[in-house]
Amino acid sequence: MQSIVSGTSTERVVRTLLLMLLIDGFTVAYLWDGYIGYARQNGRELVRLLGLPADTATPINPTLTAGEGQRLAQAVKAGDELSAVTAVLGQPSLEHGGDAYFLGPGGWLKVQLTGGRIASAAWTNGPKTESDQQWQRWIGYALAVVGLIVAVRLALVLATRLTLSDAGLQVGGRLLIPMDAITDLKAARAGCVDLTYLQNSMSHSIRLDVYVYKQLPRIVAIICERKGFPNPWQVARGP
């Protein structure tokens, strides 16, 4: 008998692949927002509040955290030169109306200037706070783990094999059922059959699903022909 090797069904592959792509898409979206997107939204909000053109460049200083911004706001004194801030943060992200703005991922430090010297400084959290961004990153990390699990699952789905040969029925790489050991084959739920076989003088049963094994109907027909069993699916459908 020529061996028949069945992989899994196309539907099963497509479903698993779509699930993996969906999870990977959400992973990228959450991590993007957590590392880049939300920080850029804060920059756009600052530009909007100042009434500047939407395409105004707003470089983001990744080292400027809310804690650092609040510390600097309290540390600088009225009358200090702007260099008291630029020595720590570099050049302002934006200058408008005589004031300097230092933009961090989670907000901005506004330094009001009078006569070229600092009059006051205050930190403002952006609409997307550092906490919001951290949550996006955590969710992204969790989804990345789930995506990896689904990727492994997809690899296992693609590796699914059911082989019928003169040696018997090989289910994956773990179970070989000799043809002589098969004692019964009957219909189960829709698209499934229960195959009963003897192993070590004990009766065992395994359920085979056409959703899992694409060529299962052909394999069932051959087993029934070789063993003299009625085809359970033909019996279930009737004449």
What tens-digit pLDDT sequence spans the chain (239 residues)? 678 999 999 999 999 999 999 999 999 999 999 999 999 999 999 999 999 999 998 999 999 999 999 999 999 999 999 999 999 999 999 999 889 999 999 999 999 999 889 999 999 999 999 999 999 999 999 999 999 999 999 999 999 999 999 889 999 887 899 999 999 999 988 889 999 999 888 999 999 999 999 999 999 999 999 989 999 877 544 44
Specify the pLDDT at position 234: 75
The arrangement of strands across the sheet holding 99-104 comes to 94-96, 99-104, 107-114, 117-125
**CB burial of residue 207 (10 Å; 0-12, 13-18, 19+):** exposed
Specify if 230 maps to a domain: yes
Q: Are 109 and 70 within 8 A, CB to CB?
A: no
Specify if 43 maps to a domain: no
Task: Give me the number of domains the chain comprises.
Answer: 1
Q: Please give the Cα distance from 199 to 206 (Å, whole number).
A: 12
Specify the pLDDT at position 66: 96
Q: Please give the Cα distance from 91 to 79 (Å, whole number).
A: 19
Specify if 224 maps to a domain: yes
Q: Are 182 and 196 within 8 A, CB to CB?
A: yes
Specify the pLDDT at position 1: 65
Specify the pLDDT at position 60: 96
Specify if 68 maps to a domain: no
Specify if 127 maps to a domain: no
Specify if 39 maps to a domain: no
Specify the pLDDT at position 239: 44
Number of CB atoms found within 10 A of residue 43's CB:
23
Quick one: how far is CA 124 from the chain centroid? 33
- Short-list 168, 170, 218, 176, CA closest to 193: 218
CATH (domain of 179): 2.30.29.30
Specify if 194 maps to a domain: yes
Range of the domain at 230: 161-237
Measuring CA to CA, how many Å separate 232 from each of 4, 28, 65, 180, 191? 20, 47, 69, 19, 11
